[in-house]
Amino acid sequence: MKGKNLALTVAGIVFAIVAIVHVFRLYYKWDIFAAGIVIPMWVSQVGLAVAVVLSVWMFAAVKKR
């Protein structure tokens, strides 16, 4: 069971880091280009919400075990 807890903890940390990067992008208004197209800021808003939910979910799963 320790391996699963470690995996969930690492996943929670990764999702938290992704959420922090989205916060920085939204705060500093960084432009991101993919194939020459600017990715709109609303994509980071959605990404932030998803990353926060997933991070909390991973840490809650660790706490349950």
Q: Report pLDDT digits (tens) over 2-61.
A: 889 999 999 999 999 999 999 999 999 999 999 999 999 999 999 999 999 999 999 999
- The pTM is what? 0.90
pLDDT of 1 over the 90 cut: no
Residue 49 belongs to domain spanning: 2-64
Contact 24, 30 (CB under 8 A): yes
The confidence score (pLDDT) of residue 64 equals 87
Query: H or E stretch including 32?
Result: none
Burial class (CB in 10 A: 0-12, 13-18, 19+), 27: exposed
Domain count, the chain: 1
Q: What pLDDT is stored for residue 30 in this prediction?
A: 96
Give the separation between CA 60 and CA 12, rounded to whole angstroms: 9
The per-residue pLDDT for range 49-65, each reduced to its tens digit, is 999 999 999 999 999 87
* Cα atoms in the 13 Å half-sphere on the side-chain side of 44: 20
